[in-house]
Every structure is written in structure tokens, then in C-alpha cells.
Amino acid sequence: MNGELEEIREFLDRCPDLAPLPAASRDAFVRRLTLRYLREGSTFPPENEPGLWIVRTGTIELRDDRDTLRDRLGEGDLVHVPEAPSHPLGPVTEDALIYHLPLERARELAALDGSIAQVLAADAQRPLSTDGATHGHGGDNRLLTTPVRALMTPHPVLAVSTLSLREAARLMDRADISALLLHTPDRPGEPCGILTDTDLRRAIANDIDPETPVADSMAHPLTTVHRGTPAFEALLCMARHDIHHLPVIREADDTLAGILSSTDLIRHQGTSAVYLVRDLRRADDLEGLKGIMQALPRLQTQLVDSGADALQITQTITMVIDTLTQRLIELCERDQGSPPCAYAWLASGSQGRHEQTVFTDQDTAIIIADDGPKGADGWFEALARKVTAGLDACGIRACPGDVDPTHPDWRRPAADWAREMERVLQHPTPRDAMLATHYLDMRVIHGDASLFEPLHQRALETGARHEALLSTLADQARDLPPPLGFFRQFVLEDSGEHADTLDLKMRGLLPIVAMARVFALHAGSAARNTVERLRAAARAGVIHEATADNLVDAWLFIAGLRARHQSSQVRSGQAPDNALDPAGLSTLERSHLKTAFRLVSDARKTALADAERVHG
């Protein structure tokens, strides 16, 4: 091999996607590559030519048909273009030398060498995708995308609310329905309430006169959905409100179109989210809650198998844990007696952001009304100890950082919380940056929301005005680099129980979470969920829409990969965690994961500075 070919071979040895190949496979490339020069501002690939392209020097951006940045190629990166694209894939942003293996030669090599075939299958130009099938985890995702109109019962029975309970029961029996929609005499065709089998049983159990007007027993106001609502969203709506029937209305005029029941959803695709939440709300003691929560890992596995994306999975798991917490509090109030004054139980961290999975811990707090009697704190301390212990018994681990209301710092009267939040947000020390992240992520999951929401709004306003906080949080985000080293190699944990693995939460998700928090604060957004924060920041012009899209895609992919990893552990009887061995990923998954980390790294370098300039 002459000197020029030897130089090419040495370069290929350093390419992240080619270095793992056998030496003979890399040798097969050397004599078949041609070198092309692409000037800055030109389009890639030149003449829309397909094949395998390997960047020797320079930079090339890959964009989709909406001009959204999907990847940025630099030295050592490759992209397989399996057919002539109908339009350029992106611009050359820095003069580039690039090796080209024509498509026919690439196919010849792939036919002879399985290792090369795998490289070609890892199509780096493919946009980050968040659906399970793309990443080798196929599943039926019909429940996620099927509109409610395809599942609902059209032309539901609608009756006047002056009917007696007896007449309503007879009508439901004749029509063989489990729910009857009702309207007032003066507004026919416009439902105002609903009577279900459960309502009828409750009326009979309470010895209500069968001749009583049904209006006295119906549920109202109604919770409704539009015909185009995805069925999965309807499922979450039922679970949040602990209901099993949803009137469906038309988008154009809000008139009644049909009714959807949980049975319709279960028939379409088995799922236990609604029943899991129902069972938690009906549990009468801690032992009952513990037994029900054993189904949570199976629920996550079922969601993964159905093709749910990371946002749907984490919102569903969070909803279940919210319900568990609420029921534990209700049981404690039953045992301890009525609270001495108004209060609210707060969730922070991943629960506050609606981003939990089955492997999670507690980040909670209590805010107490200022008019509480002397000694009231003792009641709330007892509540905190019982609820946090109950959560731990049900599989939601105690917070290793002591962020829970058994500690006085996380159990305060409203005035104390106001002073503490003002102090932290106006003059933050490095330790206060951690406190600030918790305060900004907090939300009420039980109790009097009016105690906390004004404080949260003031915190957002204070934070957006104070450069010290914005700068401290931005520094915190910069101190969380994604685990991608030189030549795009993964940086793995180097010691401890999870050595040689990737911590998908700490190294993958938290850098995005931290950036989204800063961007949302710049934008003055009250959003808590990471995806919502990124989209709000883009709408406010704090970051470019393409940057937000890239970070949302990266979050969805990494969080989805974590959910699938945990579900795989559940199936094999292991305890779920965040530690992923990248050696177990397919070539395509490794490529996507590297692309996701790279997008995060690029945003870390540029978007934080852009946000600070916009705010300034």
C-alpha cells in the first residue's frame, strides 16, 4: 500500500463508525474511495449523488425538508445516502474535503462483507425519530394516534334532566347503555351532565327516592374531548379525572358528536392506566396501595410495547405516582384527623416536570397557610413522615438529597417560602442553584393551590429580572456536558456499580432539562415540562425554532431509550435503572444516540449564549 493509501487507511482507523470494523473491512474501502472538494456555501451531496460519504475536513449540515437542522457532520463522520435525494440534504458550512464511495461500489462491498452492510444500515442522514418502530422496538401505536371519532359511539342517548331516577334507569336498561347524557329543558341537544351506572348505584345505596329528578344525582360540569383528540390523550383525561365516559364534541361548533367509554379504549388496545389509577383511589390502606403499585413496571412495559413515545410514557407514570401520593395523603388525613389549617403538597424534580419513569425517587415539599395555630407544624411533620415512608414502601425511593418535607427546609409556612424563594432567586450561591431548580419545577399535587401558585409566579418574574440567577443556572447547564468524547466516542462511567455504562438521566437528559429551564425563565414561561419549556422558548424568540426542535427530538429519543432499557430490565426480572451499556445497542441506535448527544452539545455551546444576548 503506497503512502497516500496508507494515509487514507490511518484516517479510516480513526473514524468512530469505521474503527470497530475488522481491519480487512476497512482495507476494502481504501482503494475504492474518491476525494472531493466542496466549497463553503455549496450543497451536499454534490449533484445529489448517492453513496457513502466520509468527511475528512470541514463541516456539513444535514437538514430536513422544513430546513430543521438534524445533524452536523465534521471530521471522521459518515453519512449513507442510499438513493439520489430529490433535494440537497444541507449546506457545506466550512470548506470540506470528503471521501466518496459510489453507491454501486458500496453495494458490492456490502454484499461481500456483513460488517460493511451494518455500517451502511446506520443511515446517519435519517432524522432523529421518536417512534418505537424506527429504533427496532416495533409495536402497535394505534392507540396513540387513532382519533377519538374512530372509537366513540355516535348518536349517544340524550335525555332531559327532569327525568326521575327510575325513568332514567329504565331508559338506560332499554338502550343497554352504562351512561346517559342529560340536557336541561331549555337547551335540548346540549349536554349539561351525565348519569352513569355508578351514580345510580350510589343513589340506591343512599336511599334516594327513585322519583327524585336525575339532575340531583348527575355528574357535572362535563369533561369533554374533541373528535380529533388522540385516543391516548382521552385515556389520560379519564384517568386524571377518575371517570370512565367522555362526551365527544365537534371541533367546528362544539355540538355533541358521540360518547367514548373506557371500555372502547380497552377494547381497542389493552391498557391498565385507567384501572390502575381507579384502584389506587379506592385502596383503603398502605398494604392495598403496595399491591396495586406492583403493576407500575408492567404498565411502563406495556406503554413501550404499544409504541408510546417518551412524553406519553412519562406523563402516564407521573399521573399514577401523583394519584398514589394523593391517596396516601387522604389516608393519613383520615387517621390523623383534619389538618389544622390549609396546606398544599408540592412535587418537584421529575415529578414536578411530569417526567417520571418506574426508576424514580421523591422530591417533595409542603407549604402551610400562615394562619395555622400554634403547634400546627407537628401535624404536618407527622403527615410528611407517613407519606414519604408510604411512597418508599410502594417503590418510590426516598430522596438521597433529603428533598422532602420531613426536613424543615422543605416544610414551611407560605411567608417563609416567599422569603426563601426571594433570597435564592435574587442572590444565588452555587448551592442555591440546586434549590432554584427545585423551586422552579415545583407544582401542587394535593391541597390548596392558591397558597403556592402566586409564589411560583413571583419566582418566575423575579428570576427573569435577575441576571445573577440566569447566569448561575446557565453555568449549571454548561457544567452538564453530554457523554460524547473525542471522535464521537461515548464517555462511560469509569467506576462504581455502573462502570462502563451511560447514565442516561444524569448525562443524557439533565443537560437538556437544565437548558430548557434557563430558556423558559428567559421567556417568562410558567411551563414545567422540558418539552413545553423548549417550545415556549422558541415561541418567545429566546432560541431558534430549529434549536428547540433538535433538543425536543434529543430529549424524546434519549428518554425513550431509557424507558425501553428499563422495560427490558423489568421483563428479565432485574431492577430498573438508568445505566445503559451501549454495547447492547444496534448500530442504528448508537448512531442516533450519538447524534442526539451531539445536538445537545451544539446547543450547549451556542443556544445558551444566544438566550443571554436576547435577554440582555
Q: What is the pLDDT of residues 218-234, one digit of tens each?
A: 999 999 998 888 887 88
When comparing pLDDT for 464 and 116, which is higher?
Answer: 464
CA distances from 210 to 91, 104, 147, 207 (A): 75, 81, 38, 8
Residue by residue, DSSP assigns 122-162 as S-TTSPP--SGGGGT-----HHHH-BGGGTSEES--EEETT
When comparing pLDDT for 69 and 216, which is higher?
Answer: 216
Residue with cell 367514548: 260
Q: Indicate if the alpha-carbon torsion angle 468, 469, 475, 479 is positive or negative.
A: positive
Please report, as a single letter, which amino acid is at residue 130.
T
Q: Give the pLDDT confidence score for residue 137 in this predicted structure.
A: 31
SS (H, E, C) 303-357: HHHCCCCHHHHHHHHHHHHHHHHHHHHHHHHHHHCCCCCCEEEEECHHHHCCCCC
Task: Measure the CA–CA gap between 570 and 574, rounded to whole angstroms.
Answer: 6
**pLDDT tier at 301 (50, 70, 90 boundaries)?**
confident
Task: Measure the CA–CA gap between 597 and 554, rounded to whole angstroms.
Answer: 7
| Cis peptide upstream of residue 147 (ω within 30 degrees of 0) | no
**pLDDT tier at 140 (50, 70, 90 boundaries)?**
very low
Q: Give the pLDDT confidence score for residue 616 in this predicted structure.
A: 54
**pLDDT tier at 379 (50, 70, 90 boundaries)?**
very high
Task: Measure the CA–CA gap between 295 and 297, rounded to whole angstroms.
Answer: 6
CA distances from 447 to 327, 344, 444, 560 (A): 12, 4, 7, 32
Q: Give the pLDDT confidence score for residue 229 in this predicted structure.
A: 85
Residue with cell 327525568: 163
pLDDT in tens, 118-129: 666 654 334 333
Q: Are the CB atoms for 559 and 310 separated by under 8 Å?
A: yes
Task: Measure the CA–CA gap between 101 and 128, rounded to whole angstroms.
Answer: 24
When comparing pLDDT for 583 and 19, which is higher?
Answer: 583
Cell of 517: 429551564
CA distances from 16 to 182, 397, 488, 508, 594 (A): 65, 38, 6, 19, 10
What H or E segment, with its residue span, contains residue 503?
strand 502-503
Q: Give the pLDDT confidence score for residue 133 in this predicted structure.
A: 32
When comparing pLDDT for 279 and 1, which is higher?
Answer: 279
Q: What is the DSSP letter of 502?
A: E
Q: Give the pLDDT confidence score for residue 70 in this predicted structure.
A: 64
pLDDT in tens, 478-535: 888 888 775 567 878 777 788 889 999 998 999 999 999 999 999 999 999 999 999 9
Cell of 95: 470548506
pLDDT in tens, 425-452: 888 887 788 899 999 999 999 999 999 9
What is the mean pLDDT of the segment spanning 347-367? 96
pLDDT in tens, 568-590: 999 888 999 999 998 888 887 88
Are β-strands 69-73 and 193-196 bridged in parallel, bridged antiparallel, or unpaired?
A: unpaired
pLDDT in tens, 439-491: 999 999 999 999 999 999 999 998 888 888 888 888 888 888 888 775 567 87
* Residue 231 phi, psi (nearest 5): -60, -35
Give the number of other CB atoms < 10 A from CB of residue 571: 13
Task: Measure the CA–CA gap between 266 and 143, rounded to whole angstroms.
Answer: 10
Q: Give the pLDDT confidence score for residue 499 in this predicted structure.
A: 84
When comparing pLDDT for 274 and 267, which is higher?
Answer: 274
Q: What is the mean pLDDT of the chain?
A: 85
Q: Give the pLDDT confidence score for residue 584 in this predicted structure.
A: 87
The full length of the chain comes to 616
Q: What is the DSSP letter of 58?
A: E
Domains recognised in the chain with CATH numbers: 3-127 (2.60.120.10), 143-271 (3.10.580.10), 313-458 (3.30.460.10), 466-616 (1.20.120)
Q: Indicate if the alpha-carbon torsion angle 485, 488, 494, 498 is positive or negative.
A: positive
Provide the percentage of residues in the chain whose pLDDT is more than 70.
90
Q: Are the CB atoms for 70 and 44 separated by under 8 Å?
A: no
What is the mean pLDDT of the segment spanning 190-209? 90
Task: Kindly tell me if the per-residue pLDDT of 136 is higher than 60.
Answer: no
When comparing pLDDT for 38 and 131, which is higher?
Answer: 38
